[in-house]
Structures are given as structure tokens and as C-alpha cells.
Amino acid sequence: MVASGQENLETVLIDFLGALRRADQEAMRAVLDPDVTWQGLREGWVCHGPDEVIDTLQQGLEQRRDVSALEFIRAGDRVVMGVRGPALDHIDGEPLGGQIFNVFTLRNGRIIRIEDHRLQAEALQSAGVEGDPGWR
């Protein structure tokens, strides 16, 4: 039997990112909970529901950022995704320093919340990850 943390990781890695890559709105909608919320870097940057999340994702796809590294850390019902790349310098004036971290919260195989963070430590704390999950 596959652990739910592993299933959540696969949902984000395969289903969500695959749908995003293909710009497949129906596949994105299938993985997003009807009550999904996406909290951006600023307090006022919030998307409610699949339509707003998908619209925001599509705007980001138009900018196609150059990604040089991805990192995934599973944490029970949460998955932390780190993205690094030379083009990740800012979002609407918010400095990124070449990276951004997303915390996905899942329930019953669907994403119910996404949070953006500038720093890995902030994302790990939000996801409830204790200690250094780094590789040796």
C-alpha cells in the first residue's frame, strides 16, 4: 500500500505539474478542490476556487520561466515544492532571488491550498517539517 504522503507527492509532481505543462484546464480542475485557495507572496494576492487559480496559472505560463532545479519534500498532507531558475527574479515587483517555494495541502487526493514562500525555511515551517530535510 502506498503511503498517503507518497500519493500526495505524486499528485503534485505528476498530475498537477503534468496538467500545467500541457495547459490542460480540465486536468488542472480535476486535481484542484472546489474550495481551493492560493495565497501568494503578498497578503492581498489570494485566489479562491479553481477558476481563479487556473487563470493565475495560465498568466504564469505565458511568461514561461526558465527552471534549472526542482525540489520536492513530502510532509503528510502537504508537499513542499522548491523551484530555482535564473528568470525567477521577481513577481510583480516582489523580489524572489532566483527561487520560490510552494506548499501544497491536499485532502482526498485534491489540492485544497497553495501557499507561496520566498525562502525554503518559511515553506518547511508552514508545512510542519522539523529539522533539515536536506540530502547528504
Would 132 be classed as within a structural domain?
no
Pairing, β 32-39 against β 110-117: parallel
Would 135 be classed as within a structural domain?
no
Cα gap 131→18, rounded to integer Å = 30
CA distances from 136 to 72, 116, 132 (A): 15, 26, 10
The answer to whether 20 touches 31, Cβ cutoff 8 Å, is no
48 or 136: whose pLDDT is higher? 48
Give the residue ranges of DSSP H helices in 4-104.
4-10, 17-22, 25-31, 49-62
Residue 104: CATH number of its domain: 3.10.450.50
Would 134 be classed as within a structural domain?
no
Would 21 be classed as within a structural domain?
yes
* Longest CA pairwise span in the chain (Å): 45
Q: E strands within 5-50?
A: 32-39, 46-48
Residue 59: what pLDDT? 83
Q: What is the per-residue pLDDT across 65-90, written as a single tens digit (0 to 9) for each?
A: 688 999 999 999 999 999 999 888 88
Query: Is residue 136's pLDDT more than 90?
Result: no
**% of the chain with per-residue pLDDT over 90:** 73
Would 70 be classed as within a structural domain?
yes
75: buried, middle or exposed (CB in 10 Å: 19+, 13-18, 0-12)?
A: buried
Would 89 be classed as within a structural domain?
yes
pLDDT grade for 15, boundaries at 50, 70 and 90 = very high
The answer to whether 8 touches 74, Cβ cutoff 8 Å, is yes
What is the domain range of residue 82? 4-127
Would 117 be classed as within a structural domain?
yes
The answer to whether 85 touches 67, Cβ cutoff 8 Å, is yes
Average pLDDT, stretch 6-10?
Answer: 95
Question: Side chain identity at 113, as an amino acid letter?
Answer: R
Radius of gyration for the chain, computed over Cα atoms and rounded to the nearest angstrom = 14
Average pLDDT, stretch 42-51?
Answer: 96
pLDDT grade for 95, boundaries at 50, 70 and 90 = confident
Would 133 be classed as within a structural domain?
no
Count of structural domains, the chain: 1
Residue 24: what pLDDT? 94
